[in-house]
């Protein structure tokens, strides 16, 4: 399983759901850290991460943790 950072897209922040509520709808995803309702760290298979992007790509950004660290 790989580690990913998931964040709610700016245009979807007015929605009442948290990032954790969205990712918990996909099997094979484990939440590692969720201190912020609009961003969290998950462990997931590449297939589960792809499913998140397919189902919630208009609401969530899903990036590999190593890519996210390089952007900081």
Residues 6+ apart with CB under 8 A from 16: none
- Say yes or no: domain 2-71 is CATH 3.30.70: yes
What is the token pair recorded at 48?
A: 């589960």
Quote the radius of gyration of the chain (alpha carbons, Å). 11
Distance CA 8, CA 15 (A): 9
70/7: higher pLDDT: 7
Edge-to-edge strand ranges of the sheet holding 60-64:
29-36, 39-44, 2-8, 60-64
- Listed by start position, the domains of the chain span 2-71
Q: Is residue 8 scored above 80 in pLDDT?
A: yes
Reported pTM: 0.84
Q: Is 22 helix (H, G, I), strand (E, B) or coil?
A: helix
Which pLDDT band holds residue 13 (cuts at 50, 70, 90)?
Answer: confident
18-57 per-position pLDDT tens digit? 999 999 999 999 999 987 889 999 999 999 999 999 999 9
């Amino acid at each position: 399983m790989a580690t990913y950072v998931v964040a709610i897209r700016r245009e979807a922040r007015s929605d009442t759901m948290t990032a954790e509520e969205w990712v918990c709808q996909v099997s094979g995803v484990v939440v590692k850290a969720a201190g912020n309702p609009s961003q969290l760290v998950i462990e997931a298979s590449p297939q589960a991460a792809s499913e998140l992007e397919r189902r919630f790509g208009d609401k969530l950004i899903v990036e590999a943790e190593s890519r996210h660290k390089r952007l900081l």
